[in-house]
Amino acid sequence: MFNILKKVFKKTNDAIHQVAPTKKKKISKEEFEEILLEADVHYELVEKFLEDLPSTFDRAQAYNALISVFQYKADWKTDVVAKPFVDMIIGVNGAGKTTTIAKLARYHQKNGKSVILGAADTFRAAAIEQLTRWANRLNIPIISTQQGHDPSAVVFDTIASALAKKVDHVLIDTAGRLHTQTNLGEELKKMVRTAHKAMPDAPHRKMLILDGTQGSSSINQAKIFNEMVGIDGIIITKLDGTAKGGSVLSIAHELQMPIYFIGTGEQPDDLIPFKANDYVNTILNEIFI
């Protein structure tokens, strides 16, 4: 796991080495502040960390400070009690939403579970085509329609098909929307209501895809989506392509939502469960002896 994370956070680690080229047994508050800011941790959160630390401190004290932001329940497996379990995947254009759906489908496949996809992003024909290609590649059924058709109908039909076929997991794509687009926001709310009509309590989880290259700026997106429909968990993509890996700390602190997975590449298997202790240790390995 550490080898994978070290590769994912290579650009972040390189940025850390620019300001802290030598590993030490102890560092000062000033050094820690510079490191965290370089990794794109919010200034206010950096100050919060420093408040509880002595003037110089060791790895264990730094670990206790950073791990404190992950105080929320984030157990993916015990959350799954319904059959089918319906995940609605939400996010803005370009965050890697459709590719992440394919990765989630592959994750369930590897765990011996059946999956069906719902191509409810009817806003773009390319989105339907892309998800259909992934479904064919992974040999997974997909419910789709033509561009411009009612996405809520796709939601209903996908869940109905899953119920009839006793499928374990439903993954529903939604139109990549800016949180400022009112009409698309209302459409998303309608899709949530339709899922509930198709199956009580569905969607069971509304997952927000955040682009790791956006750093801490993605927090405002998440807050607005959460106000709109209520977000249950987060998947962060593209962390391998940015030096802003410290933004994970800011996201966790600001949103207090489970970070379930991080994307590690472009292939279906390039998705790993997020573990806060491994993430924190990956950062600290670049700072301390």
Quick check: is 287 in a domain? no
The answer to whether the beta carbons of residues 12 and 283 sit under 8 Å apart is yes
User: Are 64 and 172 within one domain?
Assistant: no
Quick check: is 281 in a domain? no
Tokens of 137: 């590649």
> In whole angstroms, what is the distance from residue 153 CA to residue 151 CA?
5
Look at residues 30, 45, 71 and tell me which one is the last residue of a structural domain.
Answer: 71
Tell me the per-residue pLDDT of 82-105, one tens digit each, with 9 for 90 and over.
Answer: 899 999 999 988 899 999 999 999
Tell me the per-residue pLDDT of 14-73, one tens digit each, with 9 for 90 and over.
Answer: 999 999 999 999 999 999 999 999 999 999 999 999 998 999 999 999 999 999 999 877
**Number of structural domains in the chain:** 2
* Residue in 274, 215, 221, 288 with CA at minimum distance from that of residue 247: 215
Q: How far is CA 124 from CA 118, 129, 130, 148, 173, in A?
A: 14, 9, 10, 8, 12
Domain that holds residue 22: 2-71
Output the pLDDT for position 180: 60
> In whole angstroms, what is the distance from residue 280 CA to residue 287 CA?
11
Tell me the per-residue pLDDT of 105-119, one tens digit each, with 9 for 90 and over.
Answer: 999 999 999 999 999
User: Are 6 and 124 within one domain?
Assistant: no
Q: Quick check: 188 pLDDT over 60?
A: yes
Q: How far apart are the first and last CA of the chain?
A: 20
- What integer is the mean pLDDT of 230-236? 94
Work out the mean pLDDT of the chain and round it to a whole number.
92
Quick check: is 280 in a domain? no
Q: Which residues pair with 172 in a beta bridge?
A: 88, 118
Look at residues 42, 71, 100 and tell me which one is the last residue of a structural domain.
Answer: 71
User: Are 83 and 149 within one domain?
Assistant: yes
Tell me the per-residue pLDDT of 201-216, one tens digit each, with 9 for 90 and over.
Answer: 999 999 999 998 887 6
Model-level pTM?
Answer: 0.92
* Residue in 177, 176, 203 with CA at minimum distance from that of residue 191: 203
Tell me the per-residue pLDDT of 119-135, one tens digit each, with 9 for 90 and over.
Answer: 999 988 899 999 999 99
Q: pLDDT category, 79, cuts 50, 70, 90?
A: low
User: Are 15 and 94 within one domain?
Assistant: no
User: Are 116 and 190 within one domain?
Assistant: yes
User: Are 19 and 133 within one domain?
Assistant: no
- Domain CATH for 139: 3.40.50.300
User: Are 230 and 106 within one domain?
Assistant: yes
Quick check: is 284 in a domain? no
Look at residues 20, 53, 71 and tell me which one is the last residue of a structural domain.
Answer: 71
* Residue in 287, 208, 206 with CA at minimum distance from that of residue 246: 287
